[in-house]
């Protein structure tokens, strides 16, 4: 049982200040540069099981040649694979991107769907990706939950869940809607820099006084 009542308003307030000197996640960076649902969608798919620095350079190379679904399907699969290498599963992702763009063109007139359920119909698009497109691509409400958001939300004691999908559902019931869009950026940035999966940097954590440290057995 958690010994500290989770003060989410205070936590969000502190994190907004604390992350200002940190680099934002790559998909957020792309959306800040030019809000394009298509680029957010593609960059998110590239980022799966891939470090941000690799996704950053791969996205830059790909978007230099393809900024729309129509541009991308003109490229050969082998060339796309070369452009996005060495992202994880780059050959499979090259194939997925072509298939995805064909569906977007044929079924959605070349526009990335702005509806969560429609996005989830697309091959290769899970809840994390769909929610990022909704929030960062379209500025609509959504809660994107990746491993960082899942981990930190549970460590705080804010939710008690077993996987990211359960965490998203729990957060939709607990988290004030005014924080929905920012929550992912804040926790992903914090997770990459401070609240790491193994031995988090609790001694440097700005929200340590508000955290129940659920499941934390070793820290620095």
**Does residue 59 lie within any of the structural domains?**
yes
The low-confidence residues of the chain, meaning pLDDT below 70, are 1-2
- Count of residues making up the chain: 220
> In terms of domains, do 67 and 116 share one?
yes
Same domain, 114 and 59: yes
Q: Are residue 133 and residue 154 in the same domain, yes or no?
A: no
Evaluate whether 182 touches 16 at the Cβ level (below 8 Å). Answer: yes
Q: What angle do CA 40, 46, 51 make, to 5 degrees?
A: 110
* Confidence at residue 126, expressed as pLDDT on a 0 to 100 scale: 94
Same domain, residue pair 154 and 187:
yes
Considering the domain boundaries, does residue 27 fall inside one? no
pLDDT at 35: 73
Query: How many domains does the chain divide into?
Result: 2
- The residue among 137, 171, 198 that closes a domain is 137
Q: Evaluate whether 31 touches 40 at the Cβ level (below 8 Å).
A: yes
**Domain co-membership, 133 together with 53:** yes
Query: Domain range spanning residue 121?
Result: 36-137
| C-alpha pair distances (Å), 93 with each of 52, 127, 131, 187, 213 | 16, 17, 19, 26, 37
Q: What is the CA radius of gyration of the chain?
A: 18
Domain-ending residue, one of 104, 137, 170: 137
Note the pLDDT of residue 2: 61
Give me the pLDDT at residue 24, please: 85
């Amino acid at each position: 049982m958690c010994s500290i009542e989770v003060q989410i308003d205070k936590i969000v307030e502190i994190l907004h200040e604390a992350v200002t000197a940190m680099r934002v996640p790559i998909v957020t960076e792309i959306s800040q540069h030019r809000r394009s649902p298509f680029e957010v969608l593609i960059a998110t798919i590239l980022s799966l099981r891939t470090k941000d620095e690799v996704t950053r350079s791969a996205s830059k190379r790909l978007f230099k040649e393809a900024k729309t679904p129509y541009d991308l399907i003109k490229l050969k699969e082998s060339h796309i694979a070369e452009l996005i290498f060495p992202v994880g599963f780059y050959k499979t992702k090259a194939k997925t991107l072509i298939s995805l763009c064909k569906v977007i063109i044929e079924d959605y007139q070349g526009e990335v769907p702005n509806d969560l359920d429609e996005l989830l119909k697309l091959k290769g698009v899970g809840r994390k990706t769909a929610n990022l497109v909704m929030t960062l691509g379209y500025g609509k409400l959504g809660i994107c939950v990746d491993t960082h958001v899942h981990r930190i939300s549970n460590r705080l004691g804010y939710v008690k869940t077993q996987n990211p999908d359960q965490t998203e559902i729990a957060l939709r019931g607990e988290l004030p809607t005014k924080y929905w869009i920012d929550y992912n950026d804040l926790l992903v940035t914090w997770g990459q820099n401070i609240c790491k999966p193994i031995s988090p940097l609790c001694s440097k954590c700005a929200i340590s006084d508000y955290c129940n440290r659920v499941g934390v057995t070793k820290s620095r």
